[in-house]
Amino acid sequence: MSMTTIEEKLGTLKYKHDRTSHISVNQEKFTEDEVQAILFVCPAKVYVKKEDDGSCIINFENCVECGTCRIAAPGHVNWFYPTGGTGVNYRQG
Amino acid sequence: MSDEKVTCIVVGAGPAGSAAALVLACAGIEVLLLERGETVGCKNLFGGVLYTTILDKLIPTWMEEAPLERYVTRKRFSLMAKDSEVALDFKTKRYEQHPKRNFSFVVLRAKFDPWFAGKAEEAGAMLATGIMVKELIIENGKVIGVRTEPGNEEYFADVVISAEGVHSYLTLQAGLRHGEFDPDHIVTAAKEVIKLDKSVIEDRFQLEGNEGVAGAYFGEGLFGMFGAGFVYTNKDSLSIGTGVTIGEMIRNKKNPNEILEHFKQHPAIRTLIRGGETIEYSAHMIPEYGYDHRPGLFNDGFLVTGDAAGLVNSSHHQEGTNLAMASGVYAAETVIEAVKKNDFSKATLSMYEQKLENSFVLKDLKKYRHMTNFFNTNPHFLRDYPELAAELLGDYFALSDRPKGEVEKEVFRKMRRRVPILTMLTDLWKAKKALM
């Protein structure tokens, strides 16, 4: 069967993780609707809202490096390439 | 290698970057090709079909050597309604006689791109992988090199060619584009490679030998949003995906994978992928801002190629990698001239834009310049017309004992009730202007 959920699909990917995150979010502005778009437009579930304080958790290890978040919330998400040689490694492409 | 100076640095070993490096190396020019991936191709993906007319000029033996999947003998354009599909299906044997198989090949980029960069390397380009260019080094307005990670190293050159891809940070830093992209001008595509037996693919898609299919899908399979779905046949897998503008996803609160799953569930698609196994998931942005919103393409010591320059023909032709290769070649030819004159100023480098203007690259972008705007301002087109077409055909072919003339009249009455004739004619005229 072909896969359906993002979680299982991310399992098909090979990563070489960077030590530090290549993404940061302006937490103060995160409550604004337009910034919260990153929660649902990200194809890799990088962004998760923390239940207790409503802040944004960044699972940068999931990132497939499309950069959609940067376009969806300009100025509030600082997405840049992970360091050379790290990040996702597509084998099909 | 650090702190040394070469003639040209090319940023990014995709189709544009490797084409540029190959042409420069063949001309005996010292060129350093920097790739942020641990290996070439590991960050790259597309649908996709590679159109090989430019490749054919660069490497005449590509058909024997390159990792190709299948050549395209069948093209499908499909309008999806909730429970139906209305399609144009073109299937031909005529490209079998064509010595280069109509230059249309399905490929997988993590396999093709390393081969192509390897050709540049064989020709004498210095290829360095695992090096991410984080910024340009600019002195008195002139680009003189790049700064990289890891290690915060500096590399210097007379001229830098950006083949950076869609993110195009360097273009921004060079002052050639202003501000962030409009979400309605950028598509995010999610893709899966689904493994299936070779014989199953050939039976299911009516293919013989190395023949392949390129299918484009519009309408309900994408929740009626502005974008397209695709199905391409590899040797023993399918490349399937959906791409929708980020603006549409934000307005409709949709996730790229949710769209892809909706597409996969459609009866027109689920029978094609039945029994297949997902072997890779991926996502990538496509720059669809087109001719009128393209960035500046050159500056002192700097040229922009491929996706970084927005050189994508996002019409029904869906071309990108061939435009990228062409731009890489033109950038390299421009640098060769600049080397002869020993002048890397923007006055000399402006020749690059002239070359693009005179070629299919900017001519095609110009031809389809209104397309993105057309679909953004006429959302009913992909939302309503596929549904209407399916409904009317469903009524027309529904069998009953009523005389055909009566059924026909009723179908036409229904059509006119749904869309007044004048509206339909205006829509057709607008679509023709945007697409033909």
Give tens-digit pLDDT for B36-79. 999 999 999 999 999 999 999 999 999 999 999 999 999 999 99
Say if residue B1's pLDDT is above 50.
Answer: no
Regarding an ipTM greater than 0.95, the answer is: yes
Say if residue B2's pLDDT is above 60.
Answer: no
Say if residue B88's pLDDT is above 80.
Answer: yes
Say if residue B237's pLDDT is above 80.
Answer: yes
Question: For A58-67, what is the mean pLDDT?
Answer: 98
Q: Fill in the DSSP letter of residue B130.
A: S
Among B42, B279, B281, the residue with its CB nearest the CB of A89 is: B42
Say if residue B87's pLDDT is above 80.
Answer: yes
Where exactly are the structural domains of chain B? 5-69+107-181+290-367, 183-287, 379-435
Q: Is B319 helix (H, G, I), strand (E, B) or coil?
A: strand
Question: For B110-139, what is the mean pLDDT?
Answer: 98
Say if residue A1's pLDDT is above 80.
Answer: no
- The tens digit of pLDDT for each residue in A3-29 reads 999 999 999 999 999 999 999 999 999
- Find all residues with CB under 8 Å of B409, minimum gap 6, and list them: none
Instruction: Tell whether A91 lies on the interface with B, counting CB pairs under 8 A.
Output: yes
Question: For B124-146, what is the mean pLDDT?
Answer: 98
Q: Is the dihedral of CA B378, B382, B388, B393 positive or negative?
A: positive
Nearest-by-CA chain B residue for A39: B255
Check B108 against A89: CB less than 8 A apart.
Answer: no
| Closest listed residue to residue B117, CA positions, set B9, B234, B8, B16 | B16
Say if residue B177's pLDDT is above 50.
Answer: yes
Report how far apart, in Å, the C-alpha atoms of A14 and of each of A43, A87, B34, B40 are.
Answer: 16, 9, 22, 15
CATH class of B183-287: alpha beta
| Closest listed residue to residue B244, CA positions, set B254, B236, B235, B234 | B254
Instruction: Tell whether A16 lies on the interface with B, counting CB pairs under 8 A.
Output: yes
Best of A1, A39, A68, A77 to disrupt the B interface (most B CBs within 10 Å) is A68
Nearest-by-CA chain B residue for A9: B281
| Closest listed residue to residue B233, CA positions, set B387, B59, B107, B380 | B107
Instruction: Tally Cβ neighbours within 10 Å of residue B423.
Output: 12
Check A81 against B132: CB less than 8 A apart.
Answer: yes
Where exactly are the structural domains of chain A? 6-81
Helix (H) or strand (E) holding B120: helix B109-122
Question: For B408-426, what is the mean pLDDT?
Answer: 94
Express as a percent the part of chain A with pLDDT over 90: 89
Nearest-by-CA chain A residue for B263: A4
Q: Is A61 helix (H, G, I), strand (E, B) or coil?
A: helix
Domain A6-81 has CATH 3.90.1150.10: no
pLDDT bracket for residue A33 (50, 70, 90): confident
Check B281 against A74: CB less than 8 A apart.
Answer: no
Rounded to a whole number, what is the distance in Å from the CA of B434 to chain A's nearest CA?
25
What tokens appear for B144 in the block? 């003189």
Instruction: Tell whether B38 lies on the interface with A, counting CB pairs under 8 A.
Output: yes
Q: Return the number of CB contacts < 8 Å for A and B.
A: 153
Express as a percent the part of chain B with pLDDT over 70: 99
pTM for the model = 0.96
Would you tell me the crossing angle of helices B109-122 and B15-26 to the nearest 10 degrees?
Answer: 10
pLDDT bracket for residue B266 (50, 70, 90): very high
CA B14 to the chain's CA centroid: 12
- Average pLDDT score, chain B: 96
Instruction: Tell whether A93 lies on the interface with B, counting CB pairs under 8 A.
Output: yes
- Please report residues of B whose CB lies closer than 8 A to that of A74: 179-180
- What confidence score (pLDDT) does residue B3 get? 59
Say if residue B4's pLDDT is above 90.
Answer: no
- The tens digit of pLDDT for each residue in B292-350 reads 999 999 999 999 999 999 999 999 999 999 999 999 999 999 999 999 999 999 999 99
What tokens appear for B300 in the block? 């002192």
What is B5-69+107-181+290-367's CATH number, 3.30.413.10, 3.30.365.10, 3.50.50.60, 3.40.980.10? 3.50.50.60
Nearest-by-CA chain B residue for A17: B38
